Amino acid sequence: MDSFNFNQYQNIVIKVGSSLIAPDGRSCSTQYCLPLASFIKKCQHLDKTVTLVSSGAVAAGVNTLKIDHSDLTLAKKQACAAVGQAKLINHWQRFFDNHVAQLLLTADDIKHPKRHQNARKTIEQLHQYAILPIVNENDTVATAELKFGDNDNLAAQVATLINADLLIICSDVDGVYNDNPHQNPQAELIPYIEQITDKTLALGKPTHNAQATGGMVTKLGAAQFASKAGINTIICNGKSEAYTSLLEHKITGTFISSNKPYNQQNKPGINIINA
Protein backbone atom coordinates (compact mmCIF):
# COMPACT_ATOMS: atom_id res chain seq x y z
CA MET A 1 0.00 0.00 0.00
CA ASP A 2 1.34 3.46 -0.88
CA SER A 3 2.04 5.68 2.08
CA PHE A 4 1.15 9.32 2.51
CA ASN A 5 4.16 11.45 1.77
CA PHE A 6 3.96 15.11 2.81
CA ASN A 7 7.04 15.79 0.64
CA GLN A 8 4.86 15.56 -2.45
CA TYR A 9 2.89 18.66 -1.44
CA GLN A 10 4.49 21.96 -2.35
CA ASN A 11 1.72 24.51 -2.56
CA ILE A 12 -0.57 24.39 0.46
CA VAL A 13 -3.60 26.41 1.47
CA ILE A 14 -4.49 26.30 5.16
CA LYS A 15 -7.89 27.48 6.34
CA VAL A 16 -8.36 28.39 9.97
CA GLY A 17 -11.78 29.16 11.35
CA SER A 18 -13.05 31.57 14.00
CA SER A 19 -13.41 28.77 16.56
CA LEU A 20 -9.60 28.53 16.72
CA ILE A 21 -8.87 32.23 16.51
CA ALA A 22 -11.56 33.24 18.96
CA PRO A 23 -11.99 30.25 21.29
CA ASP A 24 -14.58 30.79 24.04
CA GLY A 25 -15.19 34.32 22.80
CA ARG A 26 -11.53 35.38 23.28
CA SER A 27 -10.77 37.05 19.97
CA CYS A 28 -7.25 36.90 18.52
CA SER A 29 -6.14 34.29 21.04
CA THR A 30 -2.61 32.92 20.70
CA GLN A 31 -3.65 29.49 22.05
CA TYR A 32 -4.21 27.75 18.70
CA CYS A 33 -2.65 30.32 16.35
CA LEU A 34 0.88 30.09 17.79
CA PRO A 35 1.25 26.33 17.10
CA LEU A 36 -0.32 26.79 13.67
CA ALA A 37 2.13 29.60 12.86
CA SER A 38 4.97 27.33 13.94
CA PHE A 39 3.68 24.62 11.57
CA ILE A 40 3.48 27.16 8.72
CA LYS A 41 7.10 28.19 9.38
CA LYS A 42 8.18 24.53 9.33
CA CYS A 43 6.43 24.09 5.97
CA GLN A 44 8.18 27.21 4.66
CA HIS A 45 11.55 25.86 5.82
CA LEU A 46 10.75 22.72 3.82
CA ASP A 47 10.42 25.02 0.78
CA LYS A 48 6.66 24.69 0.60
CA THR A 49 4.58 27.72 -0.24
CA VAL A 50 1.76 28.35 2.19
CA THR A 51 -1.30 30.57 1.86
CA LEU A 52 -3.41 31.11 4.95
CA VAL A 53 -7.15 31.73 4.78
CA SER A 54 -8.06 33.16 8.15
CA SER A 55 -11.48 33.94 9.59
CA GLY A 56 -11.88 35.81 12.84
CA ALA A 57 -12.39 39.42 11.72
CA VAL A 58 -15.99 39.65 12.91
CA ALA A 59 -15.15 38.02 16.26
CA ALA A 60 -12.22 40.41 16.76
CA GLY A 61 -14.42 43.41 15.93
CA VAL A 62 -17.24 42.25 18.21
CA ASN A 63 -14.78 41.99 21.09
CA THR A 64 -13.09 45.30 20.35
CA LEU A 65 -16.32 47.26 19.99
CA LYS A 66 -18.01 45.28 22.80
CA ILE A 67 -21.08 44.68 20.64
CA ASP A 68 -23.84 42.45 21.93
CA HIS A 69 -23.51 39.17 20.04
CA SER A 70 -27.24 38.50 20.06
CA ASP A 71 -28.02 41.76 18.28
CA LEU A 72 -25.74 41.64 15.23
CA THR A 73 -27.32 43.15 12.15
CA LEU A 74 -25.51 42.71 8.85
CA ALA A 75 -24.24 46.31 8.95
CA LYS A 76 -22.94 45.76 12.51
CA LYS A 77 -21.16 42.56 11.41
CA GLN A 78 -19.58 44.42 8.51
CA ALA A 79 -18.42 47.22 10.81
CA CYS A 80 -17.04 44.62 13.22
CA ALA A 81 -15.24 42.85 10.36
CA ALA A 82 -13.71 46.16 9.21
CA VAL A 83 -12.37 46.88 12.71
CA GLY A 84 -11.47 43.26 13.43
CA GLN A 85 -9.59 42.63 10.18
CA ALA A 86 -6.85 45.07 11.18
CA LYS A 87 -6.58 43.36 14.58
CA LEU A 88 -6.50 39.95 12.89
CA ILE A 89 -3.58 40.79 10.60
CA ASN A 90 -1.62 42.33 13.48
CA HIS A 91 -2.37 39.19 15.46
CA TRP A 92 -0.85 36.92 12.78
CA GLN A 93 2.09 39.25 12.16
CA ARG A 94 3.28 38.75 15.75
CA PHE A 95 4.19 35.12 15.00
CA PHE A 96 6.34 35.78 11.92
CA ASP A 97 9.70 37.54 11.55
CA ASN A 98 9.02 38.06 7.86
CA HIS A 99 6.11 40.22 6.72
CA VAL A 100 2.63 38.86 6.29
CA ALA A 101 0.24 40.25 3.69
CA GLN A 102 -3.50 40.85 3.71
CA LEU A 103 -5.70 39.94 0.74
CA LEU A 104 -9.43 40.58 0.88
CA LEU A 105 -11.33 38.83 -1.88
CA THR A 106 -14.89 38.19 -2.96
CA ALA A 107 -16.30 35.33 -5.01
CA ASP A 108 -16.77 37.87 -7.82
CA ASP A 109 -13.04 38.63 -7.84
CA ILE A 110 -12.34 34.97 -8.41
CA LYS A 111 -14.97 34.66 -11.17
CA HIS A 112 -13.78 37.76 -13.05
CA PRO A 113 -10.90 36.68 -15.38
CA LYS A 114 -8.74 39.79 -15.02
CA ARG A 115 -9.20 40.11 -11.26
CA HIS A 116 -8.66 36.34 -10.94
CA GLN A 117 -5.33 36.69 -12.74
CA ASN A 118 -4.33 39.72 -10.64
CA ALA A 119 -5.10 37.90 -7.40
CA ARG A 120 -3.12 34.84 -8.52
CA LYS A 121 -0.14 36.90 -9.59
CA THR A 122 -0.17 38.85 -6.32
CA ILE A 123 -0.14 35.64 -4.28
CA GLU A 124 2.63 34.16 -6.45
CA GLN A 125 4.74 37.29 -6.05
CA LEU A 126 4.22 37.26 -2.28
CA HIS A 127 5.39 33.63 -2.22
CA GLN A 128 8.50 34.64 -4.14
CA TYR A 129 9.17 37.25 -1.46
CA ALA A 130 8.64 34.51 1.16
CA ILE A 131 5.74 36.53 2.56
CA LEU A 132 2.72 34.69 3.94
CA PRO A 133 -0.46 35.77 2.11
CA ILE A 134 -3.38 35.88 4.55
CA VAL A 135 -6.73 35.84 2.78
CA ASN A 136 -10.16 36.67 4.11
CA GLU A 137 -13.38 37.46 2.35
CA ASN A 138 -14.00 41.16 1.82
CA ASP A 139 -16.84 41.29 4.32
CA THR A 140 -17.70 44.92 3.53
CA VAL A 141 -19.15 43.87 0.18
CA ALA A 142 -19.58 40.07 0.41
CA THR A 143 -22.75 39.99 2.44
CA ALA A 144 -23.84 36.40 1.73
CA GLU A 145 -20.50 35.13 3.09
CA LEU A 146 -21.28 36.48 6.56
CA LYS A 147 -24.51 34.52 6.62
CA PHE A 148 -23.22 31.22 5.27
CA GLY A 149 -19.69 31.02 6.61
CA ASP A 150 -18.17 30.61 3.21
CA ASN A 151 -14.52 30.88 4.26
CA ASP A 152 -14.30 27.11 3.73
CA ASN A 153 -15.49 27.70 0.20
CA LEU A 154 -13.22 30.74 -0.16
CA ALA A 155 -10.25 28.57 0.86
CA ALA A 156 -11.17 26.00 -1.82
CA GLN A 157 -11.49 28.80 -4.39
CA VAL A 158 -8.11 30.23 -3.39
CA ALA A 159 -6.57 26.75 -3.58
CA THR A 160 -7.94 26.41 -7.11
CA LEU A 161 -6.83 29.95 -8.03
CA ILE A 162 -3.19 29.22 -7.21
CA ASN A 163 -3.18 25.56 -8.33
CA ALA A 164 -2.49 24.37 -4.80
CA ASP A 165 -1.92 20.68 -4.29
CA LEU A 166 -3.26 20.44 -0.74
CA LEU A 167 -5.99 22.19 1.21
CA ILE A 168 -5.87 21.80 4.98
CA ILE A 169 -9.04 22.85 6.80
CA CYS A 170 -8.35 23.31 10.50
CA SER A 171 -11.51 22.88 12.48
CA ASP A 172 -12.43 22.21 16.12
CA VAL A 173 -13.45 18.62 15.40
CA ASP A 174 -11.14 15.75 14.47
CA GLY A 175 -12.50 15.32 10.96
CA VAL A 176 -15.57 13.88 9.29
CA TYR A 177 -17.58 11.46 11.42
CA ASN A 178 -20.25 8.98 10.45
CA ASP A 179 -22.52 10.76 12.97
CA ASN A 180 -22.44 13.94 15.07
CA PRO A 181 -19.65 13.29 17.65
CA HIS A 182 -21.08 15.94 20.00
CA GLN A 183 -24.33 14.03 20.26
CA ASN A 184 -23.28 10.44 19.63
CA PRO A 185 -20.21 9.17 21.58
CA GLN A 186 -20.19 6.08 19.32
CA ALA A 187 -19.63 8.21 16.20
CA GLU A 188 -16.55 7.09 14.24
CA LEU A 189 -14.04 9.21 12.40
CA ILE A 190 -13.81 8.56 8.67
CA PRO A 191 -10.07 8.66 7.84
CA TYR A 192 -10.36 8.55 4.08
CA ILE A 193 -12.99 9.62 1.60
CA GLU A 194 -12.39 8.55 -1.97
CA GLN A 195 -15.14 10.71 -3.41
CA ILE A 196 -17.72 13.06 -1.92
CA THR A 197 -21.23 11.91 -2.71
CA ASP A 198 -24.64 13.21 -1.58
CA LYS A 199 -24.42 10.62 1.20
CA THR A 200 -21.13 12.15 2.36
CA LEU A 201 -22.58 15.66 2.28
CA ALA A 202 -25.48 14.47 4.43
CA LEU A 203 -22.94 13.66 7.18
CA GLY A 204 -22.32 17.40 7.65
CA LYS A 205 -24.23 18.78 10.57
CA PRO A 206 -24.73 22.43 11.56
CA THR A 207 -21.89 23.74 13.69
CA HIS A 208 -22.16 23.67 17.49
CA ASN A 209 -19.87 26.68 17.95
CA ALA A 210 -21.31 30.18 18.31
CA GLN A 211 -18.17 31.89 16.93
CA ALA A 212 -18.06 29.78 13.79
CA THR A 213 -20.27 30.48 10.81
CA GLY A 214 -19.77 27.23 8.85
CA GLY A 215 -20.35 23.61 9.74
CA MET A 216 -18.99 20.30 8.44
CA VAL A 217 -21.30 20.57 5.45
CA THR A 218 -19.51 23.70 4.20
CA LYS A 219 -16.14 21.96 4.73
CA LEU A 220 -17.30 18.96 2.72
CA GLY A 221 -18.63 21.29 0.02
CA ALA A 222 -15.24 23.02 -0.08
CA ALA A 223 -13.43 19.69 -0.27
CA GLN A 224 -15.72 18.64 -3.11
CA PHE A 225 -14.91 21.85 -5.01
CA ALA A 226 -11.17 21.37 -4.43
CA SER A 227 -11.41 17.72 -5.40
CA LYS A 228 -12.92 18.62 -8.77
CA ALA A 229 -9.90 20.85 -9.36
CA GLY A 230 -7.52 17.97 -8.56
CA ILE A 231 -6.69 19.18 -5.04
CA ASN A 232 -6.63 16.84 -2.03
CA THR A 233 -8.14 18.10 1.22
CA ILE A 234 -7.46 17.25 4.84
CA ILE A 235 -10.02 18.22 7.47
CA CYS A 236 -8.36 18.06 10.88
CA ASN A 237 -8.53 19.38 14.41
CA GLY A 238 -6.54 22.59 14.79
CA LYS A 239 -7.10 22.55 18.56
CA SER A 240 -5.18 19.29 18.99
CA GLU A 241 -2.56 20.45 16.44
CA ALA A 242 -3.41 17.42 14.29
CA TYR A 243 -1.69 19.03 11.29
CA THR A 244 1.73 18.47 12.92
CA SER A 245 1.47 14.73 12.17
CA LEU A 246 1.74 15.63 8.46
CA LEU A 247 5.40 16.48 9.09
CA GLU A 248 5.82 12.80 9.98
CA HIS A 249 3.88 11.79 6.86
CA LYS A 250 0.85 10.75 8.89
CA ILE A 251 -2.71 11.96 8.57
CA THR A 252 -4.70 12.66 11.72
CA GLY A 253 -8.11 13.64 10.48
CA THR A 254 -10.00 12.99 7.26
CA PHE A 255 -8.23 12.89 3.91
CA ILE A 256 -10.48 13.62 0.94
CA SER A 257 -9.03 12.47 -2.32
CA SER A 258 -9.03 14.64 -5.39
CA ASN A 259 -10.49 13.46 -8.65
CA LYS A 260 -7.02 13.09 -10.13
CA PRO A 261 -6.49 9.67 -11.67
CA TYR A 262 -4.99 7.17 -9.25
CA ASN A 263 -1.68 6.95 -11.13
CA GLN A 264 -1.17 10.72 -10.89
CA GLN A 265 -1.10 11.00 -7.14
CA ASN A 266 0.11 9.12 -4.09
CA LYS A 267 -2.67 7.67 -2.02
CA PRO A 268 -2.31 7.71 1.75
CA GLY A 269 -1.68 4.35 3.34
CA ILE A 270 -4.93 4.14 5.24
CA ASN A 271 -8.02 2.03 4.82
CA ILE A 272 -10.72 3.33 2.57
CA ILE A 273 -14.06 3.78 4.28
CA ASN A 274 -16.88 4.40 1.90
CA ALA A 275 -18.93 7.29 3.14
CB 155 within 8 A of CB 169: yes
Binds ligand GLU (CB under 6 A): choice among 35, 133, 149, 175? 149
Backbone angles phi, psi at 41, to 5 degrees: -65, -40
Beta bridge partners of 168: 14, 234
181 makes contact with ligand GLU (CB under 6 A): no
Classify strands 192-193 and 100-105 as parallel, antiparallel or unpaired. unpaired
CA angle 231–144–212, rounded 5-degree value: 70
Q: According to the annotation, is 197 in a ligand binding site?
A: no
57 makes contact with ligand GLU (CB under 6 A): yes
Classify strands 11-16 and 100-105 as parallel, antiparallel or unpaired. unpaired
106 makes contact with ligand GLU (CB under 6 A): no
Q: Which of residues 2-21 bind ligand GLU (CB under 6 A)?
A: 17-18
We find the least distance from the C-beta atom of residue 147 to ligand GLU, in angstroms, to be: 10
221 makes contact with ligand GLU (CB under 6 A): no
CA angle 218–160–107, rounded 5-degree value: 60
Binds ligand GLU (CB under 6 A): choice among 49, 51, 55, 209? 55
Can you tell me the distance from the alpha carbon of 6 to that of 79, in angstroms, rounded to the nearest whole number? 40
We find the least distance from the C-beta atom of residue 64 to ligand GLU, in angstroms, to be: 12
Nearer to ligand GLU, 147 or 228 (CB): 147
Nearer to ligand GLU, 141 or 247 (CB): 141
172 makes contact with ligand GLU (CB under 6 A): no
We find the least distance from the C-beta atom of residue 74 to ligand GLU, in angstroms, to be: 12
Sorted by sequence, the CB contacts under 8 Å of residue 49 that are 6+ apart come out as 10, 11, 12, 127
Which of these ranges, 67-75, 136-144, 195-203, 241-249, lies near ligand GLU under the rule CB under 6 A?
136-144
Burial of residue 213 (number of CB atoms within 10 Å: 0-12, 13-18, 19+): buried
Residues near ligand GLU (CB under 6 A): 17-18, 55-59, 81, 136-137, 139, 149-151, 213-214
Extract the annotated binding site for substrate. Answer: 55, 139, 151
